[in-house]
A and B are shown apart, each in its own frame.
Chain A
């Protein structure tokens, strides 16, 4: 857990004092990723760097795991905090294994232990130890270097990590890959992480909580979904973007919006039975057809069920696409737009039908949180007029 209490930094400049961080108060619960977000010069990096005293705080306190850090000496404090920076900062004079083993060596581990650890970490960041252990940083691509940077920060297994725009210098394709890998690692490692970013999409993807900074102030500290759904003021609104409702799609999986009570037919059912089910469930268009393994293979349109006779297995239309329970809604919506459909079956990891996702279901789910904004005291039409202008 990281707790920041009235943390303030005032820089003395030739033009007078500048307050880079003004009484910042926040708490990052254990095992969560907190993204500090904001435009340049908003104080997010200053706040991060005060935690490991790269920038000394003017006033205020920082607690790690409940312990006040102001009593610790700087070197001990830093060795207990993983630190990843945008420029990566691998030491060019050391091989990859030496770079990863730097902190363990400082802590006095024996050679066998830190070499094993280096191999373990290389595997964890998806690089082959037999190839990379003895290479030098300048022989690696930017993405590989930053993986090593993360591995180095993790070497001594610190409970807390600070990451200063760690993926900022990596091309967009590799950035996505590294972000995904990092999230996967974090699921096992459960580090408490402070992460500086200026990219709202990265923040939404990585964060359990987002802290928005402006001019040295912490403007809003919320979960990504609350931040996107309920931006506190115009600054936050602008910062998270006009498409903030769309960004929320990424935060929700198909599983949470799918309907689990639904009708389906089997190939051996007659079309009459299909029509009964369509009517019973009030479907407008069609009913899903599953095979013997309970995997969706198509659908029987209502018109077919009405006009034709025979078995469902003979008169179905093939499925254009399906959703997986683990897909986020952005992917689901994208599939809907691609195939011009308003619903699709949702399957588990074995491809078995477990529910159906509908456009209405999605909008209903996303819209639910806005209900709390609609209180009688707020003159709704005025609000809408403001939005429109």
Chain B
């Protein structure tokens, strides 16, 4: 996404929010909405906790796995491992959560477990591909001047793959934020509580009180990861900064 597109995207979003606000104020629904304020704050914090916990775990597990799979000695198993992970993502997240519940019970633990599993693949895949696509001549130069394997990994391979790895993290977290509401179904809490209860009670305002913060959270987290990636990826191999 170019920066211009992104700006337009944010602008349209803001305009929509504004129009919605005007409409809702007119209909008196803002007051109804504010009725849930306390719930929103509490559940949003819970929602963020779930995202950070499961997302963080996913990053901590997925990056080393991706790194390992990209090493020459795992070359033979790497492709089949990626296939297994691919199959893993075709399982609906709801099913994963249900499975997690069936052997971990209800509550935060199975929710975090399920969400972590669901977020693994994009990060593993991007780490693996990012590292694999570091040009062979860079690796030859690195080993030719006497870098050890670890030095090469940290000084050459990871910095050059970082942009792609961050893209994976971004995708994973975006999916994660959107999936957390399902965690409510297995007692994990989060903004899903307002959404699903709102649906069940046929209370659209209550449902929106969960849905709108979820959407905003998704955007906020995406921007944060984007900003972190902008700063962290070295200038010389950062396509966004190179374009400027």
A113-128: which residues lie under 8 A (CB-CB) from chain B?
A: none
B4 to chain A, nearest CB (A): 23
Whether the pair A91, B155 counts as a contact (CB closer than 8 A) is yes
Task: Select which of A77, A83, A93, A136 is within 8 A of B160 by beta carbon.
Answer: A93
Which residues of A are found within 8 Å of B137, using beta-carbon distances? Answer: 85, 87-89
- Using a Cβ cutoff of 8 Å, how many contacts connect chains A and B? 80
A79 touches B138 (CB 8 A): no
* Cβ 8 A contact of A76, one of B142, B144, B146, B155: B146
**The residue from A74, A85, A92, A137 contacting B140, defined by CB atoms under 8 A apart:** A85
- A132-167 interface with B by 8 A CB criterion: 136-138, 152-153, 162
Chain A residues with Cβ under 8 A from B147's Cβ?
Answer: 75, 102, 106
A-B interface, 5 closest residue pairs, ranked by CB to CB distance from nearest: A89-B141, A136-B236, A79-B146, A78-B146, A93-B159
Contact (Cβ within 8 A) A54 B141 = no
Residues of B within 8 A of A85 (CB): 137, 140-141, 144
A28-70: contact bitstring with B at CB < 8 Å (1 yes, 0 no)?
A: 0000000000000000000000001010000000000000000
B86 at the interface (CB under 8 A from A): no
Within 8 Å CB of A80, what residues of B? Answer: 146
Fill in one digit per residue for A159-184: 1 if any B CB lies within 8 Å of its CB, else 0. Answer: 00010000000000000000000000
Minimal Cβ-Cβ distance residue in A for B234 = A93
Q: A55 CA to B145 CA in the complex, in Å?
A: 14
Does B146 contact A92, Cβ atoms closer than 8 Å?
A: no
Tell which of B140, B156, B234 touches A54, judged by Cβ atoms closer than 8 Å. Answer: B140
Is A94 touching B140 in the complex (CB atoms < 8 A)? Answer: no
Q: Is A287 on the interface with B (CB-CB < 8 A)?
A: no
Q: Is B29 in contact with chain A by the CB < 8 A criterion?
A: no
Q: Does A103 reach chain B (CB closer than 8 Å)?
A: yes
Which residue, A85, A87, A91, A136, has most C-beta atoms of chain B within 10 A?
A: A91
Question: Is the C-beta of A95 less than 8 angstroms from some C-beta in chain B?
Answer: yes
Query: Is there an interface contact between A91 and B145, defined as CB atoms closer than 8 Å?
Result: no
Interface of B is mostly: helix
Residue of A90, A93, A95 ringed by the most chain B CB atoms within 10 A:
A93
A369 to chain B, nearest CB (A): 39
Q: List A contacts of B135 (CB < 8 A).
A: 87
User: Per-residue CB proximity of B80-91 to A under 8 Å, as 1/0?
Assistant: 000000000000
Residues of chain A with a CB closer than 8 A to B236's CB: 91-95, 136-138
A75–B152 Cα gap in the complex (Å)? Answer: 12
B204-244 interface mask toward A, CB cutoff 8 Å, 1 = contact, 0 = none?
Answer: 00000000000000000000000000000011110000100
Whether the Cβ atoms of A91 and B138 lie closer than 8 Å is yes
Q: List 9 A-B contacts (CB under 8 A).
A: A78-B146, A85-B137, A85-B144, A93-B159, A93-B160, A93-B236, A94-B159, A136-B234, A152-B145
Q: Across the two chains, which residue of chain A brings its CB closest to B163?
A: A93
Q: Which listed residue, A83, A91, A94, A138, touches B144 by the CB 8 Å rule?
A: A83
When distances are taken between beta carbons in the complex, the residues of chain A under 8 Å from B144 are: 52, 54, 78, 83, 85, 89, 162
How far, in Å, is A167 (CB) from chain B's closest CB? 15
The answer on a CB contact under 8 Å between B234 and A103 is no
Contact residues on A (Cβ < 8 Å of other chain), bracket: 20 to 34
For A153, give the chain B residue with the smallest CB separation: B145
Which residues of the other chain, B, contact A88 by a CB distance below 8 angstroms?
Answer: 137, 141
Q: Does B151 contact A (CB under 8 A)?
A: yes
Asked if A83 and B141 make an inter-chain contact with CB atoms under 8 angstroms apart, the answer reads yes
Known: A78-B144, A103-B146. 7 other contacts (CB 8 A): A85-B144, A87-B137, A89-B137, A89-B141, A92-B237, A93-B156, A93-B162
A89 near B242 (CB under 8 angstroms)? no
A137 to B156, CA, bound (A): 14
CB distance from B37 to the nearest CB of A (A): 46
Report B130 CB to chain A, min CB distance, Å. Answer: 13
B148 within 8 A of A: yes
CA distance A369 to B147 in the complex (A): 48
Q: Which of A76, A94, A95, A102 contacts B145 (CB 8 A)?
A: A102
Q: Is B25 close to A, CB under 8 A?
A: no
CA of A95 to CA of B135 in the docked complex: distance in angstroms? 18
Q: Which residues of chain B from 161 to 194 have any CB-CB distance to chain A below 8 Å in the complex?
A: 162
Q: How far is the CA of A137 from the CA of B160 in the complex (A)?
A: 13
- Contact check, B146 vs A91: say whether CB atoms are below 8 A apart: no
Considering only residues 299-339 of chain A, those with a C-beta below 8 Å from chain B are none
CB contacts (< 8 Å) of A89 on chain B: these are 137-138, 140-142, 144
Interface set, chain A 318-362, CB cutoff 8 A to B:
none
B143 on interface, CB distance cutoff 8 Å: yes
B146 partner residues in chain A, CB cutoff 8 A? 74-80, 103, 106
- Residue-wise, chain A 4-45 has the 8 Å CB interface mask toward B (1 for contact) of 000000000000000000000000000000000000000000
Cα separation A85 to B140 with both chains bound (whole Å): 9
